Amino acid sequence: MGEQEPYAGLATTFDTAAELYEQARPGYPERLFADLAATTGLTSGSARVLEIGTGTGQATRGLLARGWQVVSLEPGRELATVARRVLAGRGDVRVVGSPFEWWEAGDLAPFDLVFAATSWHWLDPAVAYRRAAELLRPGGHLAIVATEHVSPPDGDDFFRRVERIYDEVGMGDGQGGPKPPEAIVAPDVAAMAGSGFFDQPTVHRYQWSRDYTAEEYLSLLSTYSGHIAASPGQRRTLFDGIREMIAARPAGTVRKHYLNTLQIAARLD
């Protein structure tokens, strides 16, 4: 899925913006998948992967590029439809319209890798770790990618200044803008190791940025659950204000910095 969003009750909103999700959501660095292969030892094209939360395949593309066989779970009907279309011809992939927690794997299990890219936080941890372990072969791995919007020392101050508009429309988070990357800890490491099903995780971090025009950035925001769930009045005021702020900038763009955290742990046997 997309950027880390904490409100699990909003998970179904993504399905209302499936086509825009495919157009606006960024993918993941290629080196993330290279590190994933190296850490898990899955260098063979015969590796079997279960992906949780396909979205429209932003991370699935990287899995398929390694030559892996992927079963990808996406509970949103429209998202799954788009994913099947855009992933066609890219490799051995089956997109299944089902939530992870009660999906029946049948003879598709066991898997070498269970993988979740910016989707694990939507799951019930009391169920998810046990289910992942059950679906893995002995020695298999669970890999969780978390995604955060961060502000490095040379980051764009737009994101601090725009908080004023969020506060005005009642959508402020009280954080005053994105955190510096060094303040972001790997969010799932303690729970992975503490679940009793997995070893101590290995962690890789990837920081990168992308420039957006006003319309590109507003399209991206339109795929975030909190913005989808906002009232029409909130969205209109917020988006008009953001459009004006970006238009007044010399370059007419904003630069957003992302931090992907890849957390990989072997199943305990």
pLDDT tens column, 109-164: 999 999 999 999 999 999 999 999 999 999 999 999 999 999 999 999 999 999 99
To the nearest whole number, what is the mean pLDDT of the chain?
Answer: 94
- The mean pLDDT of 100-111, rounded to a whole number, is 96
Which pLDDT does position 133 carry in this prediction? 98
Taking the domain 8-152+178-209+257-266, which CATH number applies?
A: 3.40.50.150
Residue 172 pLDDT grade (very low, low, confident, very high; cuts 50, 70, 90): very high
DSSP state of 247: H
Distance between CA atoms of residues 262 and 87, nearest Å: 23
Chain Cα centroid distance, residue 80: 15
- Cα–Cα distance measured from residue 38 to residue 13, given in angstroms and rounded to the nearest whole number: 35
What are the tokens at 230?
């906002």
**Please, are residues 166 and 173 in contact by the beta-carbon 8 Å criterion?**
yes
pLDDT, residue 98, reads 94
The DSSP H or E segment spanning 22 is: helix 18-24
- Six-digit token string for 54: 């396909």
Q: Using CA atoms in the order 37, 69, 121, 137, what is the torsion angle rounded to 10 degrees?
A: -80
- Each residue's pLDDT tens digit, 202-252: 999 999 999 999 999 999 999 998 899 999 999 999 999 999 999 999 999
Nearest-CA neighbor of 220 among 185, 255, 184?
255
Whether residue 23 has pLDDT greater than 60:
yes
Query: Band of the pLDDT at 188, cuts 50, 70, 90?
Result: very high
Q: Distance from first CA to last CA of the chain, Å, rounded?
A: 30
